[in-house]
Amino acid sequence: MKRFLLDRRMYAEYAVAAALFAVNILLALFMPYLTEHKRIYDSGAYIAALVIAFLIYTAGVHATRRKSASDIAVVLFAFFLAWEIAYKTGAVRNDLLIPSPEGLFHVFAEKPEEIWQDVLGSLQLLFWGFFLAILFGTLLGLLAGWIPRVREVLLPISNVITLIPPLMFSAYLIMVFATFREAAVAVIFFAVFWPTFQGTVTRVALMDRAVIEAAKTMGVGTAGMLARVIFPYCLPGIIKSISRSLRGAFMCLTGAEMLGINLGIGYFIEKYKSFADYRCVLAGIVTVGVITTVIDILVNRAEKALIRWEQ
Amino acid sequence: MAAGDRTKISIRDVSFDYADKKTSFEALKHIRLDIRDGEFLCILGSSGCGKSTLLSLLSGLNRPKEGEILVDGKAVRGPGPDRAVVFQQYSLFPWLTAKGNVMFAIRQSGRKYTRKERAKKAEEYLRSVGLLAARDKYPGQLSGGMKQRVAVARALALESDVLLLDEPFAAIDPKLRLELQELVSTLCASRKKTVVFVTHDIDEAILLADRIIVMEPGRIRTEAEVALPHPRKRDELIGTAAYEELHRKLIAGFYAQVQENIDAEAAL
């Protein structure tokens, strides 16, 4: 039980964050709108978001015991506090571009089905493009890293291709593929494939020679070397690079969706941008942030579960 | 002596050079050496004399430029599980536990064992090097001495006739080193292995070897049979007449060459 408790100074910081959180809730519930606004939204979704944020922070600070968790929470709640006050007092009056925090989070209550479908659509594109790219990039990278002849062909080619930003050839890919979805998968695939390939080649090249020589002296052949020595040795590095590539992939994904697919969170943002509904645009952006964070956390969990050794 | 008369390893007129585009360095010049079945041979020499190079040729990681090496009458064409190697630098697989590392070697030995049998045998090997308690630890969690014990267990687990050790205990502190030397001596004798042990430590060579080869850069300078009974204890050896005589002979071979180097440099 003792390990769930924080020391006294951390509780002082926790109290500051909690107090700010409480003030946020009170303002959302009871502070009147002091000027005219076009629309006033129900504060339920906003309060739910605040409560969720506070619960995550509480769990986080107890699990990690990092001071920075409290600092982040204080900054976050102070930001919402300032936003709420600025909006309700009328200091910020551009309803079109800057919604109230209530209005922003109310989007999630208004169209949960639509957002959910778009998130699923994005994740499907991401799955096919991203995971195929990781799979083939890693396999080919291991092969090229180990067999010099393969490497000497593929590495110069990849050096040229990776210099071209993937979104630049996306316009062409859209013409080549039958559907926008396939094109989007292809854009993500190419955005992730080459960096993964290069990273894997480098990791194989930087392997500890003693490990390779030990394997050789035990009579390990090429297939065994790739599957039972090089792959497990490089696995932690590969997983670490996944979370990095994921950010790039998500940028490409939302970018690709904006090119014309009718499903996905990028499409959601693009659609409401053309309706000049910036409240929904912001909600879409928040959604992207939440999804990437969740995937990031899952990848880190997977790394901890899979890799129990350290160099 | 434990060593039989049959020749196990035959090094025939072997030369090797390290070459890059511009320069080439002749590391070994026409080495000839026969190693008997079951013999414990120490190759003694200062750094740069080519003793580790010779071992890398025996292991098959390098190929001779000229000449050939025969094991059981067959030419060495590359590394293989018939010659187990313990390296100076730590070479355990960091992603496997101590037991996993030994099991890997058992699988490579080419003998048909079920997974269960491999696990059981691995534990036996770890027990023989006194590390059964650390079987589930990863190499990153082991000290240098423990890592080399696992490396010895892994080499034994290949169940090869030949065991090659390249200054395996050079990086271990002296007290532990003595323990490891006695361990290797006992384990190899009881398993009738043919051992080639590379070292720059005269005492280590005398403690372990049936025969000691002293190398100077590129060639064999001298050799000495060690007719002391096994098992040897360092404490009991030091001060005996046989030990002192052997030590003097080796030191002469060892340092004559160092002196020649100094003279050569002084002459420049």
Of residues B46 and A104, more confidence is placed in A104
Contacts of B91 in chain A (CB under 8 A): 208, 210-211, 213-214
pLDDT above 60: residue B143: yes
Mutation choice for A interface testing from B88, B89, B93 by most A CBs within 10 A: B93
CA–CA separation, B264 and B248 (whole Å):
24
Q: Could you tell me what percent of chain B has a pLDDT over 70?
A: 97
Retrieve residue A287's tokens. 């959604």
Q: How far apart are CA A27 and CA A10, in angstroms?
A: 26
Residue B106: per-residue pLDDT = 96
* Chain B contact set for A310 (CB, 8 A): 94, 138, 140
Least confident of A2-16, A186-200, B115-129: A2-16
Quote the Cα angle for B108-B111-B117, to 5°.
95
| Chain B residue with minimum CA distance to A216 | B79
In 3D space, the residue among A306, A275, A287 whose CA is nearest the CA of residue A117 turns out to be A287
Chain A environment of B58 (Cβ under 8 Å): none
pLDDT for position A4: 57
Question: Which whole-number Å values give the CA distances from A198 to A130, A135, A146, A231, A235, in the listed order?
Answer: 16, 13, 13, 15, 15
Instruction: Give me the architecture of the A112-306 domain, per CATH.
Output: Orthogonal Bundle (1.10)
Interface contact A218-B93, CB threshold 8 A: no
Chain B interface, best mutation among A203, A218, A306, by max B CB count within 10 A: A218
Distance from CA of A152 to the nearest CA of B (A): 19
Q: What is the DSSP string of A59-94?
A: HHHHHH--HHHHHHHHHHHHHHHHHHHHHHHTS---
What residues form DSSP beta bridges with B215?
Answer: B220
List the single residue in A210, A215, A228 with the smallest CB-CB distance to B90: A210
B158·A218 Cβ contact <8 A: yes
The closest CB to that of B80, out of A211, A219, A228, belongs to A219
The whole-angstrom separation of Cα B177 and Cα B25 is 33
| Residue-range domain boundaries for chain A | 2-110, 112-306
Separation between Cα atoms, residue A33 and residue A213, nearest integer Å: 73
Q: Which residue would you say has higher pLDDT here, A230 or A306?
A: A230
DSSP of A219-237, one letter per residue? Answer: T--HHHIIIIIIHHHHHHH
Backbone angles phi, psi at A308, to 5 degrees: -105, 5
Angle at B62 between CA A149 and CA A216, to 5 degrees: 70
pLDDT of residue B268: 67
CA separation, residue B144 to residues B92, B147, B171 (Å)? 11, 5, 8
Give the residue from chain B lying closest to A218, CA to CA: B81
> With contacts defined as CB-CB under 8 Å, which chain B residues touch A206?
none
Residues A15 and A70: their CA atoms lie apart, in Å, by 9
Number of Cβ within 10 Å of residue A174's Cβ equals 19
Residue B148 has pLDDT above 60, yes or no: yes
Q: What's the whole-number average pLDDT of chain B?
A: 89
Structure tokens belonging to residue A3: 């390990």
Is residue A78 scored above 50 in pLDDT? Answer: yes
Residue A1 pLDDT greater than 50, yes or no: no
Whether the pLDDT of residue A171 is over 90: the answer is: no
Task: Provide mean pLDDT across the span B132-142.
Answer: 94
Confirm if B180 and B102 have CB atoms less than 8 A apart.
Answer: no
Q: How confident is the model at residue A303 (pLDDT cuts 50, 70, 90)?
A: confident
In 3-state terms chain B splits into helix, strand, coil percentages (rounded to 5) of 40, 25, 35
Q: Which residues of B146-170 are buried (b: 16+ CB within 10 A; e: fewer)?
A: bbbbbbbbbbbbbbbbbbbbbbbbe
Distance CA(B137)–CA(A307), nearest Å, equals 13
Residue B244 has pLDDT above 90, yes or no: no
Task: Record the tokens describing residue A286, joined without a space.
Answer: 């928040």
Please give the pLDDT value at position A272.
92
Residue A251 has pLDDT above 80, yes or no: no
Q: Which domains does chain B have, with CATH numbers?
A: 1-82+198-268 (3.40.50.300)
Question: Which pLDDT score, from 0 to 100, does residue B152 have?
Answer: 94
Beta bridge pairs of residue B75: B70
**pLDDT confidence of residue A183:** 84
* pLDDT at residue B123, as a whole number: 96
Q: Are A218 and B104 in contact (CB under 8 A)?
A: yes
pLDDT band at A307 (very low <50, low <70, confident <90, very high): confident
pLDDT digits (tens, 9 = 90+) for A115-154: 999 999 889 988 898 889 999 999 999 999 999 899 999 9
CA distance A238 to chain B (A): 14
Those residues whose C-beta lies under 8 Å from the C-beta of residue A164, and which sit 6 or more positions away, are: none
Distance CA A85, CA B107 (A): 70
Nearest CA-CA distance, residue B240 and chain A, Å? 39
d(CA B183, CA B145): 12
Average pLDDT for residues B38-67, to the nearest whole number? 92
Write the DSSP symbol of residue A33: P
Residue pair B177/B153 in contact by the 8 Å Cβ criterion: no
pLDDT bracket for residue A247 (50, 70, 90):
confident
Can you list the alpha helix ranges (DSSP code H) found in A3-42?
A: 8-30
Q: Which residue has the tokens 């020749």?
A: B7
Among B59, B228, B78, B220, residue whose Cα is nearest residue B155:
B59
Mean pLDDT for all residues in chain A: 88
For B1-28, how does the pLDDT look when each residue is reduced to its tens digit (9 = 90+)? 444 678 999 999 999 988 877 788 888 9
CA distances for A27 relative to A72, A94, A282, B123, angstroms: 21, 20, 22, 66
Share of chain B above pLDDT 90, in %: 59
Structure token digits, residue B134: 């650390």
| Residue B265 clears pLDDT 80, i.e. is over it | no
Q: Could you tell me if the ipTM is greater than 0.90?
A: no
Percent of chain A with pLDDT over 70: 96
Say what the pLDDT of residue A261 is.
72
Chain A residues with CB-CB distance to B87 below 8 A = 210, 213-214
B227 contacts B242 by C-beta, under 8 angstroms: yes
| Whether the predicted model's global pTM rises above the 0.90 cut | no
Give A-chain residues touching B153 at CB under 8 angstroms.
none
Q: What is the rounded average pLDDT of the residues A210-232?
A: 94
Residues from chain B that touch A228, judged by Cβ atoms under 8 A, are 104
Closest to A215 in 3D by CA, of B104, B29, B149 = B104
Q: Strands B194-199, B40-44: parallel, antiparallel or unpaired by DSSP? A: parallel
Beta bridge partners of B70: B10, B75
Report which of A196, A191, A190, A200 is spatially closest to residue A147, judged by C-alpha positions: A200
> Which positions in chain B have a beta carbon within 8 angstroms of at least one beta carbon in chain A?
59-61, 78-81, 83-85, 87, 89-96, 104-105, 108, 110, 138-140, 158
